[in-house]
Amino acid sequence: MTRLSVNINKIATIRNARGANIPDVVKVALDCEVFGAEGITVHPRPDERHIRYADVYDLKKVIKTEFNIEGNPNENFVKLVLDTKPAQVTLVPDSPNVLTSNAGWDTIKNKSFLEEMVSEFKNAGIRTSIFIETDIKMIENAAKIGTDRIEFYTEPYADLYPINKEKAIEPFALAAKKAIEFGLEINAGHDLSLNNLKYFNDNISGLSEVSIGHALIADALYYGLHNTIQMYLKLLK
């Protein structure tokens, strides 16, 4: 069964809007685990507009499932990850001014940099994942770099799914098969939802984990957090 990691960035966004500690990010993360989540994901950005670096240290102390930290590996991010030693680090090439992640790595142009980062994190005992699109050459080069996993950037799938789901899934299904041939494990995330998750999971070979935040937290406003997590887990069975 594909594991569900809940991205709690949006919880921090709500908290930060008022400047106090409501909702409590740490408590929500622990509740997600109790409600069935098999991992917790955070994506701290340099301006700390949602998850703060202090949150990451606090979360590391209490999380019992897999902890996944995503982000662009600048100097501060690298220190944060090495200090907290999560189960997994996901390298994402987002610039500081973007609203949300909007592209995968060019693993050819950034080969030396990514090799250095992957090596440093793996030497610290942290599983590595590279955020990537469905270009086979980029995936093959990710394998050569030595990463344990790739994470598919799934916004193109989500955008096309309501129009033509077969066409939407085709490049991801092909890329997944190639990734497995290259010895990579596969994660996925970005705009996966109750509407499109089951079809993606059913058609992607070897999918290890999905990381879902925005849609899941939005659904929880209607269905409640416990019920929502169970709804997502049911789609992954």
From the candidates 33, 38, 43, 50, which is the catalytic residue?
Answer: 43
Alpha helices in the chain (DSSP H): 9-18, 25-34, 53-62, 75-84, 111-123, 136-145, 155-160, 165-181, 197-203, 214-223, 225-235
Which pLDDT does position 98 carry in this prediction?
54
Query: Looking up tokens 């997600």, which residue turns up?
Result: 32
CATH number for the domain that contains residue 224: 3.20.20.70
Q: Report CA 44 to chain centroid distance, whole Å.
A: 12
Residue 13, pLDDT > 90, answer yes
Q: How far apart are CA 113 and CA 126, in angstroms?
A: 17
Reported as a single tens digit per residue, the pLDDT across 35-85 is: 999 999 999 999 999 999 999 999 999 999 999 999 999 999 999 999 999
Q: How confident is the model at residue 109 (pLDDT cuts 50, 70, 90)?
A: very high
pTM, 2 dp:
0.95
- Distance from the first to the final alpha carbon of the chain: 6
CB 136 within 8 A of CB 104: no
Reported as a single tens digit per residue, the pLDDT across 88-104 is: 999 999 765 655 556 89
Determine whether 226 is an active site residue.
no
User: How many separate domains does the chain show?
Assistant: 1
**Residue-number span of the structural domain to which 71 is assigned:** 3-235
* Structure-token pair, residue 11: 């919880």
Determine whether 120 is an active site residue.
no
From the candidates 38, 70, 133, 209, which is the catalytic residue?
Answer: 70
Amino acid at 31: D
Q: Specify the pairing of strand 207-212 against strand 185-189.
A: parallel
Average pLDDT, the chain: 96
Determine whether 43 is an active site residue.
yes
DSSP string, 54-65: HHHHHHHHH--S
